[in-house]
């Protein structure tokens, strides 16, 4: 059984570019969560999605950030016009339903130059 997969594992962008992070949940999981971890800090919730729906985006910055989880394919976290403060590890977690455990992927480490 493959776990949660994220790619790329490392991403380097210059200020002003776009970053696109992908997450494939575990087989049978239709709930996806994105979290951000700044250096030496805990994880902060960003957004919760089910297939084709955003359920809770209360942790997502209002500008430049968007997320989707289409009917087919991985969930995408998109950061437009990246700034240095966006440098962090971005983790995706999946769950079979909203009341079950969340299993995390290995993360994407974004560095903005």
Return the DSSP state at 102. Answer: P
> Judged by CB, which is closer to other proteins: 66, or 104?
104
> Judged by CB, which is closer to other proteins: 25, or 107?
107
The single residue listed with the structure tokens 């997502």 is: 60
Give the residue, chosen from 22, 26, 29, 43, that forms a contact with other proteins under the rule CB under 8 A.
43
Does residue number 4 form part of the binding site for other proteins (CB under 8 A)? yes
> Judged by CB, which is closer to other proteins: 10, or 15?
10
Cα torsion angle, 88, 45, 21, 100, sign = positive
CA end-to-end span of the chain: 36
- Contact string (CB under 8 A) for other proteins, positions 49-88, x = contact: ------xx-xx-----------------------------
CA dihedral 11, 15, 18, 24 (to 10 degrees): 30
Return the DSSP state at 85. Answer: G
Does residue number 22 form part of the binding site for other proteins (CB under 8 A)? no
């Amino acid at each position: 059984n493959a776990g949660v997969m994220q790619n790329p594992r490392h991403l380097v962008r210059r200020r002003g570019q776009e970053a696109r992070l992908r997450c494939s949940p575990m087989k049978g999981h239709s709930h996806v969560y994105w979290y951000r971890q700044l250096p030496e800090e805990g994880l902060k919730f960003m957004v919760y999605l089910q297939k084709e729906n955003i359920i809770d985006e209360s942790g997502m910055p209002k500008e430049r950030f968007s997320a989707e989880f289409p009917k087919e394919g991985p969930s995408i976290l998109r950061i437009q016009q990246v700034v240095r403060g966006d440098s962090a590890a971005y983790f995706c977690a999946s769950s079979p339903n909203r009341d079950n455990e969340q299993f995390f992927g290995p993360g994407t480490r974004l560095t903005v130059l």
